Amino acid sequence: MPDLISLVVPCYNESSAVIYFSETINPVLEKIPNTIWEIIFIDDGSNDDTLHYLMALAEQDSRYRIIELSRNFGKEAAMTAGIDEARGKAIVIMDADLQDPPELIEKMIQQWRQGAEVVVGKRVDRSSDNTLKRVTASWFYAAHNRLSSPKIPNNVGDFRLMDRCVVEALKQLPERQRFMKGLFAWVGFRTVILDYVRVSRSTGCSKFSGFALWNLALEGFTSFSTLPIRIWTYVGSFGAFLALLYGVYIVCRTLLFGNPVPGYSSLFFAVVLLGSVQIMSVGILGEYIGRIYIETKARPIYIVRKLHSKRQTQP
């Protein structure tokens, strides 16, 4: 029997890319033997004509299913929505910009049928990205893998195939603030890495600004490491140590040479010492309170406005 495979494609303002993507991906998927495909597009609150083109695709081809989110929740939430809705024995995640080669999907299927539970694409050549993006990406992977656990393979993005058992494991993770690369690595399972050359975007431009990428990196650090907030504990401790040393110096100087400004030494010492202790306490409390605050609100990761397909449209 053919295997049902789900292709999950998050979209945000990709009106210029979705038609070309479908024209490119359809012949590739049809050539893969013993497979039946469902193609799930997630419209992440686009404010252009992306949804219009996606609905047109769904009307023409029953394999297409469109998840329309109520607003822009971000790529991590959009991927989560697609994973939750996918019904296939395996799920492939890729972007609509075609920087990840569709031809690699067949090799992913082959590895999956040979026993791999996760097959990821590794970008061995990122010359299509600008120098700043390549450098900052290498810094991020190095810093994240030094500070956090589990480790993320270098230059591995969201382009991957996951077996149904991996998908079910991901669906058990309840956190609202999601860094999907870290969650993919956290669940584990038998993983195979396939190298590929990253090409330029087929159309349009990246929706991730430098500030958005910085926020995503911070999300990665804070989701899988308490060190970013714990640093302030170390800063406070170091400040307290310096204050003690300076306090000893002031006492010795006062005993030997006197103090021309009465009260200054004790006041300075007390302010610096207590300030350092306060920074330590804020860091320790913030490490716990920040995470509790986010999770106790228990807001949904995303809200679906409608599901669109050729067969039916659901509210």
Query: Is residue 142 one of the residues assigned to a domain?
Result: yes
Distance CA 10, CA 169 (A): 20
Distance CA 88, CA 174 (A): 22
Q: How many CB atoms lie within 10 A of CB 13?
A: 18
Residue 41 has pLDDT above 50, yes or no: yes
Q: Indicate if 63 and 148 belong to the same structural domain.
A: yes
Q: What angle do CA 149, 153, 156 make, to 5 degrees?
A: 125
Distance CA 39, CA 205 (A): 23
The two three-digit tokens of residue 44, written as one number: 């992440």
H-assigned helices in 119-209: 131-147, 164-171, 180-187
CATH for 74: 3.90.550.10
Q: Indicate if 141 and 272 belong to the same structural domain.
A: no
Q: How many CB atoms lie within 10 A of CB 260?
A: 7
Q: Indicate if 237 and 197 belong to the same structural domain.
A: no
Q: Indicate if 154 and 29 belong to the same structural domain.
A: yes
pLDDT tens, residue by residue, 148-181: 667 777 777 788 899 999 999 988 888 877 778 7
Q: Indicate if 89 and 219 belong to the same structural domain.
A: yes
**Count of domains forming the chain:** 2
Distance CA 164, CA 153 (A): 22
Query: Is residue 302 one of the residues assigned to a domain?
Result: no
pLDDT tens, residue by residue, 254-303: 777 766 666 666 677 777 777 777 777 777 777 677 777 777 887 888 88
Most confident of 120-124, 134-138, 142-146, 311-315: 120-124
Residue 44 has pLDDT above 70, yes or no: yes
Q: Do 150 and 126 meet the contact criterion of CB atoms below 8 Å apart?
A: no
Q: Indicate if 148 and 15 belong to the same structural domain.
A: yes
Query: Is residue 304 one of the residues assigned to a domain?
Result: no
CA distances (Å), origin 27, targets 16, 37, 55, 59: 20, 12, 20, 19
Q: Indicate if 190 and 266 belong to the same structural domain.
A: no
Please give the residue range of the domain that contains residue 293.
227-297
Q: Indicate if 275 and 175 belong to the same structural domain.
A: no
Query: Is residue 60 one of the residues assigned to a domain?
Result: yes
Q: Indicate if 133 and 41 belong to the same structural domain.
A: yes
Q: Indicate if 253 and 275 belong to the same structural domain.
A: yes
Query: Is residue 38 one of the residues assigned to a domain?
Result: yes
Q: Indicate if 250 and 163 belong to the same structural domain.
A: no
The pLDDT score that the predictor gives to residue 188 is: 81
Query: Is residue 307 one of the residues assigned to a domain?
Result: no
